[in-house]
Chains A and B, each alone.
Chain A
Amino acid sequence: GAGVSQSPSNKVTEKGKDVELRCDPISGHTALYWYRQSLGQGLEFLIYFQGNSAPDKSGLPSDRFSAERTGGSVSTLTIQRTQQEDSAVYLCASSSEVNQPQHFGDGTRLSIL
């Protein structure tokens, strides 16, 4: 498609379960970003990929969070043993190069019961 695609759009799961969130960036975009938007808050940077590598993982909130990107395209954000405080909208963005404007997906709304 023309834009950044994220799936699922909504995810409801029980505390303690693992979840996987998927991001399909715009074709040809080398840079990919994950953010978290909690209710009433701004965007919290989680991780950035340049190609398949992640030079900076410092934004990941805990070791329960991990992300990978394969083939320089699709990225998956995994949250293990989910907690209620993980409930948020997880946004993915991509840009053609690191210094270019980011294009955002519609996000995945994650609710932990």
Chain B
Amino acid sequence: GNSVTQMEGPVTLSEEAFLTINCTYTATGYPSLFWYVQYPGEGLQLLLKATKADDKGSNKGFEATYRKETTSFHLEKGSVQVSDSAVYFCALRDTGGFKTIFGAGTRLFVKA
């Protein structure tokens, strides 16, 4: 079945450091891929998405590229801020499907 695997946290970085959160997936066909973010005390929010191979999703300085050859959708940001501290979830949805499969989440702490 479909699944999403993302790196275990927590990830602790200093402000302005480079961030990578790895995400790989297993799916048939051509799923859509997503990153969601959950800030402390808030609900899940869509951060970015990519719907086909080689697409790059970007938002708020975060980027992720849909790599079909490596079945990956790694999240990156060049310079993190304290306000980026949150839990990040990688997710996929089957082509034409409705069920979104989420990874376990990666907690990010950014120190000033």
Contacts and interface: CB of A to CB of B under 8 A. Distances in A.
Contact of A48 (B42, B44, B99): B99
B49 interface: yes
B98 A56 contact: yes
Contacts of A79: none
B89 A43 contact: yes
Interface residues of B, number: 23
Q: Which of A43, A45, A103, A104 has the most CB of B within 10 A?
A: A43
Contact of B98 (A48, A101, A107): A48
Contacts, number: 52
B98 A50 contact: yes
B96 interface: yes
Contacts of A55: 98
A43 B102 contact: yes
Contacts of B46: 101-103
B103 to A, nearest CB: 5
B29 to A, nearest CB: 13
Nearest to B104: A42
